[in-house]
């Protein structure tokens, strides 16, 4: 069995004879979107976490992303085979709204005991907290990037899409995405502590 979309970890494997994302999108019924959800829920959930540094927010964001897809299904046709870049873009937009909203209410909500959904085993908690702290630092730095660079970073560095996929969903040439990523890396290198980055 050949897998159509092996490239993104977290995207469910799909058999060769299964309908493509575009086919499911075109069908637009509950079963078709349920299938799209099964294919990409894990990928979107992980990406949502990387965009928010909160697993509970990632859950809401994942639901909202697929709900947005469902509500918009009749208004657009999915041209590329994979819906994932599109879903990542929606998640990014929703995450920015969530940042603005939380910033506004942060003063009040700081008084509320945190009730994030915690699924870690005890021996994973310290590692998880460390990841979250680092991820929050990264996200704050990404949030300060110019919009074009931020979108590219979210898709390529956080979302681990290829530059070609990001270029397609952003509607720009691949070379532009590479250029944006390069500029963003320079800025991030100046802003982030060295242990937040890995040099390749």
Residues 132-191 that bind other proteins (CB under 8 A): 132, 134-135, 138, 157-158, 167-172, 185, 188-189
Q: Which of 5, 39, 51, 98 binds other proteins (CB under 8 A)?
A: 98
The dihedral sign for the CA sequence 131, 11, 22, 162? positive
Supply the minimum distance, in Å, between the C-beta of residue 1 and other proteins: 21
The nearer residue to other proteins, 3 or 29, going by C-beta atoms, is 29
The nearer residue to other proteins, 17 or 200, going by C-beta atoms, is 200
Does 62 help bind other proteins (rule: CB under 8 A)? yes
Q: How many whole angstroms from its chain centre is CA 8?
A: 12
Size of the site for other proteins (CB under 8 A): 81
Q: Which of 14, 24, 41, 161 binds other proteins (CB under 8 A)?
A: 41
Segment 3 to 22, residues that bind other proteins, using CB under 8 A:
9-10
Please, are residues 177 and 186 in contact by the beta-carbon 8 Å criterion? Answer: no
Q: What is the C-alpha separation between 101 and 95, in angstroms, rounded?
A: 10
Please, are residues 65 and 91 in contact by the beta-carbon 8 Å criterion? Answer: yes
Q: What is the C-alpha separation between 86 and 90, in angstroms, rounded?
A: 6
Q: What is the C-alpha separation between 30 and 140, in angstroms, rounded?
A: 37
Q: Which of 111, 121, 123, 190 binds other proteins (CB under 8 A)?
A: 111
Does 85 help bind other proteins (rule: CB under 8 A)? yes
Does 77 help bind other proteins (rule: CB under 8 A)? yes
Q: What is the C-alpha separation between 84 and 44, in angstroms, rounded?
A: 8
The dihedral sign for the CA sequence 60, 63, 66, 70? negative
How long a stretch of residues is the chain? 200
Q: Which of 13, 18, 109, 126 binds other proteins (CB under 8 A)?
A: 109
Q: Which of 14, 51, 94, 145 binds other proteins (CB under 8 A)?
A: 94
Q: End-to-end distance of the chain based on CA atoms, in angstroms?
A: 34
The nearer residue to other proteins, 17 or 106, going by C-beta atoms, is 106
The nearer residue to other proteins, 17 or 175, going by C-beta atoms, is 175
Q: Which of 50, 163, 177, 180 binds other proteins (CB under 8 A)?
A: 50
């Amino acid at each position: 069995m050949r897998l159509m979309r092996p490239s993104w970890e977290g995207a469910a494997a799909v058999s060769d004879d299964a309908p493509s994302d575009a086919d499911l999108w075109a069908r637009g019924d509950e079963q078709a979107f349920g299938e799209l959800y099964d294919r990409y829920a894990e990928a979107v959930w992980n990406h949502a976490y990387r965009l928010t540094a909160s697993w509970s927010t990632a859950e809401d964001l994942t639901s909202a992303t697929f709900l947005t897809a469902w509500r918009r299904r009749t208004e657009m046709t999915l041209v590329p085979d994979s819906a994932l870049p599109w879903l990542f873009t929606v998640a990014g937009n929703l995450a920015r709204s969530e940042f603005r909203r939380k910033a506004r209410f942060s003063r009040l909500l700081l008084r509320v005991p945190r009730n994030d959904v915690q699924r870690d085993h005890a021996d994973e908690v310290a590692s998880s907290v460390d990841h979250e702290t680092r991820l929050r630092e990264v996200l704050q730095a990404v949030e300060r990037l110019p919009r074009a660079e931020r979108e590219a970073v979210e898709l390529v560095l956080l979302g681990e899409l290829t530059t070609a996929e990001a270029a397609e969903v952003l509607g720009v040439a691949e070379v532009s995405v590479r250029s944006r990523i390069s500029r963003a890396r320079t800025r991030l290198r100046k802003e982030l502590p060295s242990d937040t980055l890995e040099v390749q």
